Amino acid sequence: MLYPNNIKKQYHKQINYSNRGMVLEELINKTNHYNLENNLALIYKKPTPIGIVDVSFNNKGKQIDKAYFKEPSTLDYNGLYKGKYIEFEAKETLNKTAFPLKNFHLHQINHIRKVIEHKGIVFIIIKMNNLVYLLKGEDFLSYIDNHERKSIEYNYLKEKGYLLKENYLKGLNFLEIIDKIYL
Can you give the binding site for a second copy, defined by CB under 8 A? 39, 41-42, 44, 46-50, 60-69, 73-74, 78-85, 87, 111, 114-115, 117-120
- Report the alpha-carbon distance of residue 31 to residue 174 in Å, rounded: 9
What is the closest distance, in whole angstroms, from the C-beta atom of residue 120 to a second copy in the complex? 4
CB of 58 to a second copy, least distance (A): 10
In the complex with a second copy, the residue whose CB is nearer, 15 or 80, is 80
Query: Are 163 and 129 a contacting pair, CB within 8 Å?
Result: no
Looking at the Cβ atoms of 41 and 90, the one nearer to a second copy is 41
Cβ of residue 181: shortest distance to a second copy, in angstroms? 17
Smallest distance from the beta carbon of 131 to a second copy, in angstroms?
30
The beta-carbon contacts of 147-154 under 8 Å, at least 24 apart in sequence, are 149/98, 149/101, 150/100, 150/101, 150/102, 151/95, 151/98, 151/99, 151/100, 151/101, 152/98, 152/99, 152/101, 153/97, 153/98, 154/96, 154/97, 154/98, 154/99, 154/128, 154/129
Which lies closer to a second copy via its Cβ, residue 2 or residue 106? 106
- Least distance (Å) between residue 104 CB and a second copy: 17
Instruction: Convert 94-153 into a string of H (helix), E (strand) and C (coil).
Output: CCCCEEEHHHCCHHHHHHHHHHHHCCCEEEEEEEECCEEEEEEHHHHHHHHHHCCCCEEE
Nearer to a second copy, 15 or 50 (CB): 50
Nearer to a second copy, 87 or 139 (CB): 87
